[in-house]
Each structure stands twice: as C-alpha cells, then as structure tokens.
Structure 1
Amino acid sequence: MAKVTVSLPQGTRDFGPDVVRKRSYIINTIKEVFEKYGFQPLETPAMENLETLMGKYGEEGDKLIFKILNNGLNDPKNQEKGKVAFEKVLQGKNDPNLTERALRYDLTIPFARYVAMNHAQLTFPFKRYQVQPVWRADRPQKGRYREFYQCDADVVGSKSLLNEMELTLIYHDVFTKLGMKGYEIRLNSRKILAALAAACGGENFMVPITVAIDKLDKIGLEKVKEELTSSGLNADQILKIEQYLQIEGDNATRLAALESLLGNEALAKAGLEELRTVLNGVGSTSGLNVLIDFTLARGLNYYTGIIFEVKAPAEVKMGSIGGGGRYDDLTGLFGVTGIPGVGISFGLDRIYDVLEELNLFPNTVALGTQVLFFNTGEASQTANFTQLQQLRSRGIRAELYHESVKFDKQFKYAEKKNIPFVIIIGETELIAGTCVVKDLKNRTQITVSLAELEKYSFI
C-alpha cells in the first residue's frame, strides 16, 4: 500500500484543545462586550451566490474570492465539459454554467444581503454581531490566512455618529479586557479621500487613489507614486497626494493641516466635522488612544464615511487587528435603498497571535479538567463516581481515570493534561469515609472527609 502524505491545505490550520480554549477566551470577551452594547447574534451560510459577492470588494478583493465549481463537472460523462470549465477557471471567467456560488469573503456583505431580504421584519436600528469563519485566496504569511474568523458588530438603520463613538469604545473595551496595551485606534473618512480625489481632477480617480494609498505601508511612498502615475495622475496631482500623505502631528495638528490642504472641498469639510464630533464624543474616556490617520484608506469600495483600523502594539510585528467603517447604501447593492449602516470587525487570528507573543493569556485559560479521580479498583468505584458527579454538579470539571492501573501512570496522565488536583479514594479511605486531595501544582496533599469534599475549593 502506497504511503499516504497527510497535510493541510495551505493557509489553514488545526486547533488543539489549548488553542481552542484561548480562542474561545477571546471570542467570549468580544461577545460579552457586544452584548453589553445591545448587539444581537446572527449567523449566515458559509457560501453565498457568486453575484452577491462579486463587485463589492474592489478589483483586488474580487480576485481573492474562493469560487465553488458547480456539481457534475467532474462526472466522467462530462469530461470534456469539465476540461473546458477548468480552462475558464484559469482565465478567471464567471460563467454561471461553471460556478454560481462562492465562500464568503467577509461578514459585511452577507449581512447586507440578510438585511435586504429581511428588512420588513427587522426593528431599526438593527444591531447585530457575528462570529464566523471567512475565506480568501490570499498568499499565506504571518497573521494572514486563507481561512480565518471575523468578529463583526454592525448597526444599520441609523446615520447617528453615536454609533461611530460606541464602536470606537467597543474596540477600547475589548482590548482593555484582553490586557492589551499600546494599540492604536485609527480613524479617517472616505469623504476626505473623496475630497482628495476631487481636488486631483474628479471622482473617477477615487478608486486608483484609495487602492494605492491602501498599499502605503506595504510598498512605500515612491511605489505608491509610481502606481498613481500609471493610473493617469499628473505630477501636480501626485504632489498634492504626497502632501496629504505627509500630514503628521497630534490630532488637532493633523485636522488643521488637512483643512488647510483641502478645506475648500465640501466633502472635506463634512469629513472633518464628523471626525471632530467622534473625537469630542469619546475624548474623556480613560486610556483611550485614538489617532487621526489620513493615510488610512481601506480599499473596500462600499465605505462612505468614517473608517476604522486598529494597529497592534508596536513591539509586535503585525498588521491591523481590527477595522471597519460606515457604508450608507450597502443594502442598495441588493435593491433596498435608504438603510445606512456602520460596522467594525475584530481579526481573531491576529489578536490571538498578539496575545500569545505578549504572553497576555491568563494562566487559567488553557485549563481543562480541574480534578482527576484516581481509579483504585471496583471496590471504591461507586464512591469515586458518586463524588465525581457531585463535583460536576457544582460546575467543577472533573473526570475518573478510565482503568485501574499503577498510580505512576495516572499521575503522568494528570501531569500531561495539566490537571491541578488529584483525588484518591482507596479501600482505606473508603472505610474511613475520607479521601486524599493532592495539589500537584504546590506539591501538597490533605485528607478530608467525603462530606467536606462537597465544599472543597479547587483553586
């Protein structure tokens, strides 16, 4: 029999028990904050109709959508059809006879589709959160995977900037609860970027400008200028963009510099007013670190107002760990107009990597079983099982070793699983109505009565 090579698809991962518990700690922290702010849970299918997704993420994003081949193309009777289909896939064609569905790229567009389908039954403003995996045909690298989770919170049916304020505070609350320091919540406005495009000749330059600016951190200013040149912008236009990108200082200084550069543009005035409103609204929050960043573009086409991005602490070589923005007519893509929205997303996988690198996970997060009852044979099995169930009824995670073997083997099992406490009820203890409780972490032991065990604290 040929040797089977076992592997995972590139850009995907298995998660063992310790990792799952740590990820659950992050997810539960985020959900707790979402619920505190009045958001409700929602789930949507892993795949959507291709037409739902295509054209919503810009040219670069559309290239990263995982398309699903229609059933039957690999049927031996359809070999020639399948061959033609495969050639079309390589050419990037979207023939409905070839592919009609795709894995979701993010959670925002599926949410907009859900709202468009159910708007008559929803109570607005509708505040939802969603924690599910998404897929992107990206090049895998540190902090970037082809399958990863997003944790989103969105509000639709309201234009109030109170939503942007609350979403900013949600970021702050979550990262504070996770013990992360030194992160930055960065804000900009797509209205300001639209004003920049207008100042450079018109809205037709909006997409090439935002796409190029969105790559600034990756390729640097000179490469951005080259990309702008190839998009048809002249030297004077590129100079204005360069001046825009070089705005620095504290928030007040940056806002004043932008006003000086683009203050005559109506969209710039509107964007500046919105940014000032949000800054003033959250400004008194202790420990909050919000920075106006005009280089923030977020290349997704559906954003229309304030946009967010959260940068990891500087000591961690990591990209953004969160982002989002306002999209005032996203449901209009599906024929339902007049429903404004704004939302943010947490990058669960990157947040995990940051907490791991900074050693911020609490010691108890990876703890599974708290107590192991040693198996001391049939004579004491009933007593062991009775006490085991009593501890479980108190919410204590406990298990009984599956067979009666030497204590050495049972101790090794407890150590490998990081079980902190062991309980032994042998024949001697059974007669005396007692048990031995061993604290493996502190290397101590105590004999207690079975009655006292019901109240014993395993901390």
Structure 2
Amino acid sequence: MKPSLAKGTRDFTAKEVISRRAIINTLQKNFELFGFQPLETPSFENLSTLTGKYGEEGDRLIFKILNSGDYASKTTDEDWQAKNSQKLISQISEKALRYDLTVPFARFVAMNHGQMVFPFKRYQIQPVWRADRPQKGRFREFYQCDADVVGSESLWQEVELVQLYLKSFGELKIPVTIHLNNRKILSGLAEYAGISEQLIDFTVALDKLDKIGKDGVVKELLEKNISQESVDKLDFLFSQSNDALKNVLELKSKFEENETGTAGVNELEFVLTQCLELGISAENLKFDITLARGLDYYTGAIFEVKANGVAMGSIGGGGRYDNLTEVFGVKNIPGIGISFGLDRIYLVMEELRLFPESNEISVKYLFANYGDNEAVEALKIIAKLRAKGISAELYPESSKLKKQFTYAEKKGIPNLVFFGEQEIAEGNITVKNLADGEQKTVAIEEFLNQPQL
C-alpha cells in the first residue's frame, strides 16, 4: 500500500522544524517576560469536559476517540438502526482530542484552584486537533501558543495582552492589526435589533463575514429566521470607519437604554484609550464590530490578530471568559487569554520571506572513516569538539573517500577531516575546506584551540 498522510496533517523537515522552533522561542521568551508560567495538559480529555463549550459548530469539529476494546458492545440495535449519532457517540466514545488549550486550562483551574495564587498567569504551547475542512492556513492538527490570566477582572489585563501581541509580532517582524470587540457589545446589538433569543445564531453568522461577505451573512441571518427588519437595523455594522475609538463612541447613542451594550462600550473604550496613552499606534488597533469569534465561552473583550498585506486568516485570537470554570462547578474565577497560531505565523513569515536563507542545523566537521582503529581515535576528538559546542560527526562506514566526500557536499558540511593512521601517529589533523579546496595539517591541540571554534 502506498503510504500517505492523514488529511490536514503535515511532516516537517529539519529546516521547517528549526524555523518553527525560532517562533516558539520568541513567544516563550515574551510570555515569561510578561510573568506567565509554563503549563502542559494531556492531549486528550474526557469528552464531557470538551462538549458544550464551543457551540454547536465547534462540538461537531471535536475528534472523538473510540472506547478501547469492543466499543460497540454497549450500544443498542435501536440506535444503530436509527443512526442516532448523538446517542451512539455517548455509548462508544468517552474521550476526545483537545480542541483548544483554553477549556483544558479551565478544567485544570477548577481542579487545582485551592492551591493556586491568584491572579494566576500561565502559558501553554501544545498541539490541538479539529475535524475541520483542510485549506490554506487551516489544518486538523496544529499548535496553539496560549497566554491566560485567571482570577482578575481588571481591564489592565486586556491592555497588557495587546502589548504582548505587539511586542511578539514586532520581534517576528510581522506587521499586524489587532481587531477588538466585546461580547457585551454583541449582546447589546442583539437586544437593539430585538433578537436577544438568537444571540448565538447572530454571532456565528457575523463571525463569518471575512469568509462569506455581507451578502452571505445577511442570507444566513434570514435563514435563521431573523427578520428583515432586524437585519436592516444592523446594516450599519458593515460600514465602519477606520477610527476604532470613534466607532466605539458612536455606539453609545444606540445603547442609551441598553445596560449590557453600554458596559461593553465602556470596557472597550477603556482598553483603547489606555493603549493609545501607552504609545500604541492607532494603526495597530481596529474596533471590529463584526468580530464575534464564534466560541460560546467569551463574555467580554475579544481579540483577533491579522497580518497586514497577507491573504491569511487570523494569526492570533482570544478574549475574556469570566464564566468558564462554572461549568466545572467552580464559580467566581474570571479569566482572559490570547492565542498565537504557530502554523499560520509560519506561513505568513514564509510568504514575507522573514526566515533566513539557510537556517538548517549545519555540521561543521565530518571526520573521514578509515576503519575501526582510526574511528575510535576520531570519536575522541569529536567528543572534545562537542564539549565545546561544535557540531561534528564521523562517517559511519569506512567507505571509499569519494563517497564520504559526496556525503559531506550533499549535507552542506564545510570541512572534511582526515585523521588516519599517519595523522594519529604524528599527533596531527588534516582539514579540507570543501568550499575553496584549501587543505591544511595542524597539531591536534592547535586544531582544538583555534579561535573559530
């Protein structure tokens, strides 16, 4: 059978791994600069932990894991015949691959809150899985790099997370715009349009604006039995100016008697005002009133980061989720978090040519293999090089020198080292530079102590 990859997954070459690692190192350094501590959770959770947290569409994208053993033994013939997938899932699957890092983190907080010091700040860099339709920048297995704060309602957390985003993307040299909204504003809009009972339908449709455009959003709203009158009242959503603060303030008049909407406007006004006061450019911030981030657990601020000048979806996102731990029986632990999309960041940096031309791990010295006696002596020298942090290796077989030359050239190893019987007897090493062909013989100690090492 011809081998193949599962849809939505990828292999990564050495060059790609090194580039991805460079991104992770930048993010990790900044997470820790901002006071976040590392955390890791299991790759799979109880299915009950994950379901009901992401909305109806999100629940469909959770990868379920079949129970071990005879998973069908506890099902009923009636459910099999009826093809009742919801009933069958509960009978054949108890576990699922994590959909994101936020819900597992909330589960961790609920289990450990008695031993935690609040506010508790953690970062997490691990893979997640979604049964989504693969396309450019959208995979079924991908990494998230999250930073969350729980135990604080302070809006200064939102301001700090904006700073964290801009510092990190600035160091990665990716020009970005941070789109901001507030879930309370969306609730206020639903109330303003008389569709509070259909808030989820409204936000899910609105969140697709980038993908399906205004006409597509309107069509979906009407299909969800939202009246044309309500849709007309919301038409102003699709014609916002580029001035984030101005757009926020203009909403105040629409929310004069709308307590939830007014609270959202005031919160977002505070965040935008303080960011500008701290010297963050208005060009980096956009109040995106259509931003919904269709996850049910957001309760306040929501973020989405987009790379300027690149046809790519969001490369970061997040928001406030003050009620998330309540579903695990623990109340009054507010939280807010953001995520960096490693895979999309990689694609953006590749498109913008931000990676160095050559960033593969390069072996500096290849020692030619003349046989077992010489090989053991060569490995003694190689051990000393490695102790100095210099990458070196021994060719594994005592093949013809031409073959060993070819290996070095194909791997891009710049120096071939000859340490044969004569060199060993004389205490010398011969090094050939494969780029210019220069070859020189020096004493072993001189070789090990040369400045370029």
* Residue-by-residue CA offset, 1:124-171 (whole Å, 9 max, x unaligned): 111111111111111111111111111111110111122212211222
Instruction: Report matched runs for 1:69-88 at 5 Å.
Output: 69-73=66-70, 78=73
The aligned amino acid for 1:49 is N
**What is the alpha-carbon distance in structure 2 between the residues aligned to residue 131 and residue 458 of structure 1?**
36
Deviates more, 1:235-244 or 1:295-304: 235-244
Deviation at 1:404, TM superposition (A): 2.2
**What is the alpha-carbon distance in structure 1 between the residues aligned to residue 179 and residue 280 of structure 2?**
17
2:405 to 389, 408, 411: 411
CA RMSD of aligned residues (A): 2.6
Tell me, yes or no, if structure 1 residue 425 matches structure 2 residue 419: yes
Tell me, yes or no, if structure 1 residue 135 matches structure 2 residue 129: yes
2:301 to 298, 303, 306: 306
Deviates more, 1:334-343 or 1:281-290: 281-290
Deviation at 1:198, TM superposition (A): 1.2
1:19 to 16, 21, 27: 16
| Contact in 2 for aligned 1:25/1:365 (Cα 8 Å) | no
Deviation at 1:359, TM superposition (A): 2.1
In the alignment, which residue of structure 2 is the partner of 1:114?
A: 108
Tell me, yes or no, if structure 1 residue 369 matches structure 2 residue 366: no
In the alignment, which residue of structure 2 is the partner of 1:290?
A: 285
Deviates more, 1:126-135 or 1:223-232: 223-232
The aligned amino acid for 1:217 is D
Deviation at 1:236, TM superposition (A): 2.8
Look up the SS of the partner of 1:172 in the other structure. helix
| Contact in 2 for aligned 1:367/1:418 (Cα 8 Å) | no
| CA separation of 1:434 and 1:184: change in aligned 2, threshold 3 A | farther
Deviation at 1:274, TM superposition (A): 2.2
**What is the alpha-carbon distance in structure 2 between the residues aligned to residue 87 and residue 16 of structure 1?**
46
1:388 to 377, 382, 388: 382
**What is the alpha-carbon distance in structure 2 between the residues aligned to residue 449 and residue 401 of structure 1?**
22
* Residue-by-residue CA offset, 1:48-106 (whole Å, 9 max, x unaligned): 1111111110111111111122223368xx5x959877667773435533222211111
| CA separation of 1:14 and 1:88: change in aligned 2, threshold 3 A | farther
Q: TM-score, with normalisation over the residues of structure 2?
A: 0.91
Deviation at 1:189, TM superposition (A): 0.9
| CA separation of 1:102 and 1:88: change in aligned 2, threshold 3 A | farther
In the alignment, which residue of structure 1 is the partner of 2:443?
A: 449
In the alignment, which residue of structure 2 is the partner of 1:351?
A: 345
Instruction: Report matched runs for 1:22-421 at 5 Å.
Output: 22-73=19-70, 78=73, 91-93=85-87, 95-180=89-174, 182-283=175-276, 284-285=278-279, 289-314=284-309, 316-363=310-357, 365-378=359-372, 380-421=374-415
Provide structure 2 residue ranges, at least 5 long, that are not aligned to the other structure: none
| CA separation of 1:261 and 1:71: change in aligned 2, threshold 3 A | same
- Runs in 1 of length 4+ with deviation above 6 angstroms? 82-90
**What is the alpha-carbon distance in structure 1 between the residues aligned to residue 295 and residue 81 of structure 2?**
29
Q: TM-score, with normalisation over the residues of structure 1?
A: 0.90
**What is the alpha-carbon distance in structure 1 between the residues aligned to residue 76 and residue 258 of structure 2?**
54
| CA separation of 1:255 and 1:445: change in aligned 2, threshold 3 A | farther
Q: Percent identity?
A: 51
Look up the SS of the partner of 2:114 in the other structure. coil
* Residue-by-residue CA offset, 1:379-399 (whole Å, 9 max, x unaligned): 543442222111111122221
Equivalent residue pairs, number? 451
**What is the alpha-carbon distance in structure 2 between the residues aligned to residue 399 and residue 87 of structure 1?**
62
Deviation at 1:447, TM superposition (A): 4.4
**What is the alpha-carbon distance in structure 2 between the residues aligned to residue 419 and residue 84 of structure 1?**
66
| CA separation of 1:373 and 1:142: change in aligned 2, threshold 3 A | same
| CA separation of 1:421 and 1:346: change in aligned 2, threshold 3 A | farther
**What is the alpha-carbon distance in structure 2 between the residues aligned to residue 378 and residue 46 of structure 1?**
45
| CA separation of 1:281 and 1:404: change in aligned 2, threshold 3 A | farther
Look up the SS of the partner of 2:115 in the other structure. coil
| CA separation of 1:429 and 1:262: change in aligned 2, threshold 3 A | farther
Look up the SS of the partner of 2:149 in the other structure. strand
Deviation at 1:439, TM superposition (A): 4.4
Provide structure 1 residue ranges, at least 5 long, that are not aligned to the other structure: none
The aligned amino acid for 1:67 is K
| CA separation of 1:444 and 1:220: change in aligned 2, threshold 3 A | farther
**What is the alpha-carbon distance in structure 2 between the residues aligned to residue 155 and residue 303 of structure 1?**
14
| Contact in 1 for aligned 2:177/2:305 (Cα 8 Å) | yes
Deviates more, 1:15-24 or 1:151-160: 15-24
The aligned amino acid for 1:36 is L
Deviation at 1:289, TM superposition (A): 1.8
